[in-house]
Amino acid sequence: MSKRVLHVVGARPNFMKIAPVMAALRAVPALGQTLVHTGQHYDEKMAHVFFEELGLPRPDFDLGVGSGTHAEQTGAVMVGLERVLAEVEPDLVVVVGDVNSTLAAAIVSAKAGVPVAHVEAGLRSRDLTMPEEINRLVTDRLSEVLLTPSRDGDRNLLDEGVAPERIHFVGNVMIDTLLAHRTHAPWSDVASRYDVAARKYAVLTLHRPANVDDPDRFATILDRLSAIGREMPVIFPAHPRTAKRLLEHGLIDRARYLRMVEPLGYLEFLALVDHAGCVLTDSGGIQEETTVLGVPCFTLRDNTERPVTIEQGTNTLVGADARGLGAAFAAVMNGGGKHGRVPELWDGHAGLRVAGVLARFLGLDSVGLDRPVAGAAGVPQ
Ligand code: UD1
């Protein structure tokens, strides 16, 4: 009997996570896939370019929810997705990451009685002031299949009382996408467009409400970033929220030592990060990408849900107000930065492992998908 999986994506970091999962599931016989884009991100440069570059199929449904408050956005996804679930009647819903679309899809699917699989389960910052932490907690609580990127994810879920047989340590799907595209990321184009030489510049991304919504906090951060901007070019592809706040708060002049550019597509951004001297960010995923690329990463946050990037990778927390940035940057410039290693199962095959787990969950043939998958107790399943 055939089965149908429905995938839900909505915001920029979701697209690179779903691509390897959908690609791997194409090999499962008797499995149909439906892709829903909630439209949480909708600009060409925040969404559409990723579909093209990552070879994602056109979404079967586009809910077009757009921006709004958390309740408006989450509610709009729930209303739209409830109708889609009634029409498609999937056997399983796959959600990725920790954005509002992820949370909304988990709630509405669980209430419709459709099992949910969460890719990137188990990550915890233990900081409930972050909307993403609430999204992670609720999504994991409602998911039947929990696919973790790192061992800390397994431990967090076990500590919360999740049954070990529901936890599958599969590795990091976002790294599948990175490794698949790294060799054809257009470095020479990017280098000439921004007039930069390898390792002689920094890349900056900043978009967390906690960092950019408060004018005083944002001004302090800009001053600390500007100290780096006087030492080397800082290329700053600005998220729309950040660009808007710079104008609203009258802070454009404070950013004059930063080279602000439009948001970049996946391949250009990958080329830029891969050749950077260091990366300054408050993003979640970029902490992981820099760890695999071996580029020093300074994270402008007080905590991270991705501790493996600090313990094993190239990531250093410099505080949400960037107070530790100067010292951390000086250490790297003096050759004392972290070198790090690639965490376990961040090997480019996580999508296959996810597909194997999902095929078995649905009672389908998973031959050819098997890569070593370790369960929560470390026992291959
Ligand atoms: C969302 C996620 C965050 C993720 C980030 C990646 C939540 C709670 N947050 O944050 O975890 O790290 O995506 O980018 O889900 N906007 C545009 N065009 C777009 C999208 C957004 O102009 O295509 C502007 C709008 O002014 C909007 C604002 O950006 O109000 C914020 O967008 P939103 O999706 O609410 O949250 P992000 O900050 O992007």
Using the mean position of ligand 1's atoms as its centre, give its distance from the Cα of residue 41 in Å. 6
Q: Where are the alpha helices (DSSP H) in the chain?
A: 12-25, 49-53, 70-88, 100-111, 131-142, 151-159, 173-181, 187-194, 209-212, 215-229, 240-248, 266-274, 285-293, 308-311, 325-333, 350-361
pLDDT at 254 over 50: yes
Q: In a 10 Å sphere around its CB, with 0-12 CB exposed, 13-18 middle and 19+ buried, how is residue 201 labelled? A: buried
Protein residues with CB under 6 Å of any ligand 1 atom: 11-13, 40-43, 46-47, 67, 73, 99-100, 131-132, 207, 239-241, 244
Same-domain pairing of 244 and 315 = yes
> CA-to-CA distance for 196 and 129, rounded, in angstroms?
37
In a domain, 379, yes or no: no
Domain count, the chain: 2
Contact 122, 146 (CB under 8 A): yes
> CA-to-CA distance for 176 and 249, rounded, in angstroms?
39
In a domain, 374, yes or no: no
In a domain, 178, yes or no: no
Using the mean position of ligand 1's atoms as its centre, give its distance from the Cα of residue 45 in Å. 12
pLDDT at 375 over 70: no
pLDDT by residue (tens digit) across 52-93? 999 999 999 999 999 999 999 999 999 999 999 999 999 999
> Could you tell me which of 324, 302, 321 has the C-alpha nearest to residue 125?
302
Same-domain pairing of 323 and 231 = yes
pLDDT by residue (tens digit) across 178-236? 999 999 999 999 999 999 999 999 999 999 999 999 999 999 999 999 999 999 999 99
Same-domain pairing of 27 and 61 = yes
pLDDT at 378 over 50: no
Q: Please give the share of the chain, as a percent, with pLDDT higher than 90.
A: 93
In a domain, 378, yes or no: no
Ligand 1 atom showing the smallest separation from residue 46 Cα:
23
Ligand 1 atom 19: the closest Cα is on which residue? 41
Ligand 1 atom showing the smallest separation from residue 209 Cα:
38
In a domain, 380, yes or no: no
Using the mean position of ligand 1's atoms as its centre, give its distance from the Cα of residue 89 in Å. 29
pLDDT at 381 over 50: no
Domain that holds residue 353: 3-172+345-361
**Mutational test site, ligand 1, from 99, 101, 136, max ligand atoms within 8 Å of CB:** 99
Using the mean position of ligand 1's atoms as its centre, give its distance from the Cα of residue 319 in Å. 22
DSSP 253: G
Using the mean position of ligand 1's atoms as its centre, give its distance from the Cα of residue 32 in Å. 30
Ligand 1 atom 31: the closest Cα is on which residue? 241
pLDDT by residue (tens digit) across 164-180? 999 999 999 999 999 99
pLDDT at 373 over 70: no
Same-domain pairing of 160 and 60 = yes
Report how far Cα 172 is from the mean position of its chain's Cα atoms.
Answer: 10
Integer-rounded Cα Rg, in Å, for the chain is 20
> CA-to-CA distance for 308 and 268, rounded, in angstroms?
26
In a domain, 116, yes or no: yes
pLDDT by residue (tens digit) across 129-166? 999 999 999 999 999 999 999 999 999 999 999 999 99
pLDDT by residue (tens digit) across 11-47? 999 999 999 999 999 999 999 999 999 999 999 999 9
Ligand 1 atom 32: the closest Cα is on which residue? 67
Q: What is the mean pLDDT of residues 332-355?
A: 92
- Indicate which residues carry an active-site annotation: 207
State residue 376's pLDDT score. Answer: 46
User: The domain that contains 295 carries what CATH number?
Assistant: 3.40.50.2000
The pTM of this model reads 0.95
> CA-to-CA distance for 380 and 106, rounded, in angstroms?
27
Same-domain pairing of 15 and 159 = yes
pLDDT at 337 over 90: no
Same-domain pairing of 166 and 245 = no
